[in-house]
Amino acid sequence: MSTGADLLDLSPVMPVVVVSDVDDAVPVARALLAGGIRVIELTLRTPVALAAIERVANEVPDIVIGAGTVTAPDHAKQALDAGASFLVTPGVTDQVLDACFDTGLPFLPGASTASEAMRLAERGVTALKFFPAEASGGVDYLKSIGGPLPGLRFCPTGGITLKTAPAYLALPNVGCIGGSWLTPKDALAAKDFSRIEAFAREASALRG
């Protein structure tokens, strides 16, 4: 699989996770899975991110673990080597896009305009991250581009909450949404994995 279309159908919400303590990775993944979530975007924003991906890939095989914040060509290969099953980027450059293709992994490249989305579609990519969703026009923007670009499906991410999620999920061109609210910093700092499981349960119920 070279595009990310199937990734959009795993869970209504793709948690965007920032792990600072590598020992949190497996308990977080298990908590999300226990709450019904089957996919994680673990961001390459901390020094332990690749090790965290590796642990989840090895120890929690029932959750699909991807690498997020892929912003440089090297990240794509590093994520592949760590065991990531997919890649997510906030936006694309030609080099990052080529590096994502080179891994052979499915990926969700970020786009926030019709032109960016069209350029990706020219490369055969029809499943995209719409980022930053709220700041780029949110539900109204996605509704507007659904008319001229009906072949594209999105995972809007950025500024979405449990409360605003249903309006996105109701759109025909939205497969799932991304959000960091399932794994808030304070819950991670307190190692409160049961709270994360409760957030996951609420998020899973968004599409029953």
The residues that touch ligand 3PG, with contacts defined as CB under 6 A, are 16, 43, 131, 157-160, 178-181
Residue for token pair 């509704």: 143
Residue 39 in 3-state DSSP? strand
Q: Any catalytic annotation for residue 41? A: yes
For ligand 3PG, the closer CB: 60 or 108: 108
Question: How many whole angstroms separate alpha carbon 156 and alpha carbon 130?
Answer: 4
Residue among 129, 185, 197, 202 flagged as catalytic = 129
Vertex 179 angle, CA 98 and 115, to 5°: 45
Q: Any catalytic annotation for residue 54? A: no
For ligand 3PG, the closer CB: 61 or 179: 179
Neighbour tally for 94: CB within 10 Å: 10
For ligand 3PG, the closer CB: 193 or 199: 199
Residue 178 in 3-state DSSP? strand
Give the residue among 86, 67, 38 at the shortest CA–CA distance from 203: 38
Residue among 41, 134, 185, 202 flagged as catalytic = 41
Which sequence positions are flagged as catalytic?
41, 129
